[in-house]
Amino acid sequence: MVALTSEPIDVAAALTFLQSEQAGAIDFFLGVVRDNTQDRSVDRLEYEAYDRMALSEMQKIADDAQQRWPILRYTIIHRKGILQIGEIAVLIGVSTAHRAAAFEACRYIIDTIKQTVPIWKKEVFTDGEEWVNAHP
């Protein structure tokens, strides 16, 4: 399943969702808000999404991953709104029979999300703010 949410991401619920009797491996990738970028001190991040397209692009990535690896279950959840240091911005979870496919699929999904899904993050510093990747 893919989702956008304004609520904190529930890792335990995602784990329960991914479990299956055929699954020998469950991989998670958690993208977390850190307190600095390029030596600037970050106060918080603000995420914004073009919801309908973000969901459809995330679904395309999930469908692609399912074509490439024998995925049993997957979950892709992205936060929106204001996030504080330490909060989970994105969760990717994949269950497969064996670990190699779970690692590879997880990495493919997060790397592709960063390239194509219309979600934007603004870094709010202690001394200013900036939309990430927006400027040359």
**Minimum distance of other proteins from residue 109's CB (angstroms):** 10
Instruction: Please state whether beta strands 25-32 and 81-84 pair in parallel, antiparallel, or not at all (unpaired).
Output: unpaired
DSSP per residue over 73-93, as a string?
EEEEEEE-EEEETT-EEEEEE
Tokens for 102, please give them.
């779970």
User: What is the C-alpha to C-alpha distance for residues 122 and 133, in angstroms, rounded to an integer?
Assistant: 10
Pick the closer one to other proteins by CB: 73 or 107. 107
Q: Is 108 in the site for other proteins (CB under 8 A)?
A: no
Q: How far is CA 16 from CA 36, 38, 73, 74, 90, in A?
A: 32, 37, 11, 11, 17
Q: Is 85 in the site for other proteins (CB under 8 A)?
A: no
Pick the closer one to other proteins by CB: 50 or 68. 50
SS3 10: coil
Pick the closer one to other proteins by CB: 43 or 130. 130
Q: Is 33 in the site for other proteins (CB under 8 A)?
A: no
Q: Is 90 in the site for other proteins (CB under 8 A)?
A: yes
Q: Is 74 in the site for other proteins (CB under 8 A)?
A: no
Site of interaction with other proteins (CB under 8 A):
31, 47-50, 52-54, 56, 78, 89-90, 110, 113-122, 131-136
